[in-house]
Amino acid sequence: MSSNTERKTIITSENRSLILSAGTTGFRTWEAALHLGTFLSTTSAGKSLIGNKRVLELGAGTGFLSFLCAKHLGAESVVVTDREPALIEQIDDCIGKNGLNKKQIQAGIWEWGMPLQVPFLFEEHGRVEFDIAVGADLIYDSDIVPLLVSTIRDLFDNYSVKEFIIAATVRNEDTFHTFLEACARNALAVEQIPFQSPPSEAQTGFFHSTSIPIRTYRVLQSQGQDQGQTSSSS
């Protein structure tokens, strides 16, 4: 292939029918991750968020977003996390398959509400800091919202994160409002990013359904009084 038509690929390990007994659906790449990947890779605003940045992904599942950031978007480094050891093993296996190494991307367990567990990272660097965190399809159950929001708060307080970018498939408005309210209580401001994936017939990569609304948000630390939330639209 000529350099002008070189295909950019990401290799993940997927099983679209498998759900562990713990209830994880992380063995497939879901639409919100593909939506966020489209935003990060096709818009100048998205690309500027990742280039030369230290990136952390929460609830990574297959690791698709992390591989995209490390392989094609110029991240300085990427740490990819999930609560399921089996998923972390899969991601570790795919690092080499994507032509990456452990200096570019590392995977570790993060059980929300508990300390981050990436031993090699801490042994090499001591204090760990990130510039930005990303996540997709994390707001699917109101019961996990408190742990998610406390973990996002932890990123700002203890890991120097400046902003958290999250894509959410809005299956249940009540669950999503629970997330917004929890952010407000924890001095986190939520701003909607005005981005929509192209309709299915116009997509040229990261093909995914747009039949259910997917919204992209930036979470920041509140400055002074609560900055409030932008209005949401389907």
Give the 3-state secondary structure of residue 172.
Answer: coil
Confidence band of 40 (pLDDT split at 50, 70, 90): very high
The pTM of the whole model exceeds 0.95:
no
In a domain, 101, yes or no: yes
Q: Residue 225's pLDDT is what?
A: 40
In a domain, 18, yes or no: no
Q: Residue 224's pLDDT is what?
A: 57
Q: Are 77 and 107 in contact (CB under 8 A)?
A: no
Q: What are phi and psi of 181, to 5 degrees?
A: -65, -40
Helix, strand, coil shares of the chain, percent, nearest 5, are 35, 20, 45
In a domain, 185, yes or no: yes
In a domain, 111, yes or no: yes
Percent of the chain with pLDDT over 70: 79
Confidence band of 189 (pLDDT split at 50, 70, 90): very high
Structural tokens at position 114: 């508990």
CATH of the domain at 40: 3.40.50.150
Q: Which residue has the higher pLDDT, 209 or 217?
A: 217
d(CA 118, CA 109): 7
In a domain, 171, yes or no: yes
Query: How does pLDDT run across 104-160, given as a tens digit for each residue?
Result: 999 999 989 887 777 666 555 566 889 999 999 898 888 999 999 999 999 999 899
Distant-in-sequence, close-in-space partners of 98: CB < 8 Å, separation ≥ 6: 10, 11, 67, 70, 71
For the ranges 83-87, 91-95, 124-128, 153-157, the lowest mean pLDDT is seen at 124-128
Residue range(s) defining the domain that contains residue 43: 31-201
In a domain, 13, yes or no: no
The count of structural domains within the chain is 1
Q: Are 215 and 160 in contact (CB under 8 A)?
A: no
